[in-house]
């Protein structure tokens, strides 16, 4: 801290300097306010569904690039003893679960291959594959979490069994409910992480209707919004498949 004594002339100079500083200060406040207004008035990227301002989306996409580039598909999420899993599993969201036109007996999982052939796979076929269980801290994007237990077939085992090697070379997997009301898009490294399962059991029993009977996705490296319930169709693409919550302004990646 420097102190100087100055005469009248220099004192006037400092007063002028002080005035300029305040003018600059108010210009900066105006600029900041203007930028804020500009950002908030940018068109939303989700069209009629809402979404978020395009500049924000661009940064979220850059965040995604950063975190996918550091993602290690062999790294495992912490698992808990099965006994720690809650019995009363929270139900959140029912998009795509309307049972009016849904007949469980007719359900078959449809896999659209890259040559556009479609495989139809029954629940019994899926249950016949090696079973993997995962007990982990399920995290909802809203901020709550629960230790839950799930059983099903590891997605990578499933893909190997059905000869989906070519599809696994693409960048994204898309999944839709039978009524196409709910849909997610997921990056390939996350879907091939060994704890990601096509899940048909919760706490050792078949999935309840409100948890997505007969088959849902459990992908522990993502927030709950990506754990689509009642999968109808799975397809593969190099482009990002449509994603229900991303269209409504959420981060597309939502990995954690």
Interface positions with other proteins (CB under 8 A): 1-8, 10-11, 14-15, 17-18, 21-22, 25, 28, 32, 36, 50, 52-53, 55-57, 59-60, 63, 67, 70-71, 75, 77-78, 137, 139-145, 220-221, 245, 248-251, 255-256
3-class SS of residue 233: strand
b/e map 112-148, b = 16+ CB within 10 Å? bbeeeeeeebebebbbebeebbbbbebbebeeeeebb
Q: Collect all residues with Cβ–Cβ distance below 8 Å to 254 and sequence separation of at least 6.
A: 141, 222, 223, 225, 226, 245
Q: What's the CA gap between 194 and 218, in Å, rounded?
A: 11
Contact (Cβ atoms closer than 8 angstroms) between residue 198 and residue 215: yes
Output the smallest distance, CB 181 to other proteins, in A.
Answer: 19
Q: What's the CA gap between 16 and 155, in Å, rounded?
A: 70
Contact (Cβ atoms closer than 8 angstroms) between residue 247 and residue 183: no
In which region does residue 216 sit, left (phi positive, over 0), alpha (psi from -120 to 50) or beta (all else)?
A: beta
Output the smallest distance, CB 179 to other proteins, in A.
Answer: 23
- If the CB atoms of residues 121 and 197 are measured against other proteins, the closer one turns out to be 197
Output the smallest distance, CB 17 to other proteins, in A.
Answer: 6
- If the CB atoms of residues 71 and 107 are measured against other proteins, the closer one turns out to be 71
Output the smallest distance, CB 214 to other proteins, in A.
Answer: 27
- If the CB atoms of residues 24 and 104 are measured against other proteins, the closer one turns out to be 24
Output the smallest distance, CB 44 to other proteins, in A.
Answer: 10
- If the CB atoms of residues 10 and 104 are measured against other proteins, the closer one turns out to be 10
CA-CA distances (angstroms) from residue 119 to 114, 124, 201, 217, 235? 11, 14, 22, 18, 11
- If the CB atoms of residues 2 and 87 are measured against other proteins, the closer one turns out to be 2
Output the smallest distance, CB 126 to other proteins, in A.
Answer: 26
- If the CB atoms of residues 5 and 165 are measured against other proteins, the closer one turns out to be 5
């Amino acid at each position: 801290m420097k102190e100087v004594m100055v005469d009248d002339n220099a004192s006037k100079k400092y007063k002028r300097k002080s005035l300029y500083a305040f003018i600059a200060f108010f210009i900066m406040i105006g600029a900041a306010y203007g930028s804020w207004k500009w950002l908030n008035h940018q068109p939303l990227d989700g069209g009629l569904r809402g979404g978020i301002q395009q500049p924000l989306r661009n940064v979220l996409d850059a965040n995604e690039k950063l975190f996918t580039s550091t993602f290690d598909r062999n790294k495992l999420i912490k698992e808990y003893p099965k006994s720690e899993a809650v019995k009363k599993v929270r139900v959140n969201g029912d998009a795509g679960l309307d049972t009016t036109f849904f007949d469980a007996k007719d359900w078959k999982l449809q896999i659209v291959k890259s040559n556009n052939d479609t495989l139809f796979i029954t629940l019994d076929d899926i249950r016949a594959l090696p079973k993997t269980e995962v007990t982990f801290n399920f995290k909802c994007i809203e901020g709550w979490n629960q230790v839950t237990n799930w059983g099903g077939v590891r997605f990578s085992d499933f893909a190997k069994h059905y000869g989906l090697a070519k599809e696994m070379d693409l960048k994204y997997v898309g999944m839709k409910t039978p009524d196409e009301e709910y849909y997610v898009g997921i990056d390939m490294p996350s879907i091939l992480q060994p704890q990601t399962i096509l899940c048909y059991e919760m706490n050792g029993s078949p999935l309840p209707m409100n948890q997505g009977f007969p088959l849902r996705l459990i992908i522990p490296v993502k927030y709950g919004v990506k754990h689509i319930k009642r999968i109808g169709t799975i397809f593969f693409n190099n482009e990002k498949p449509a994603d229900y919550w991303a269209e409504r302004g959420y981060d597309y990646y939502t990995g954690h």
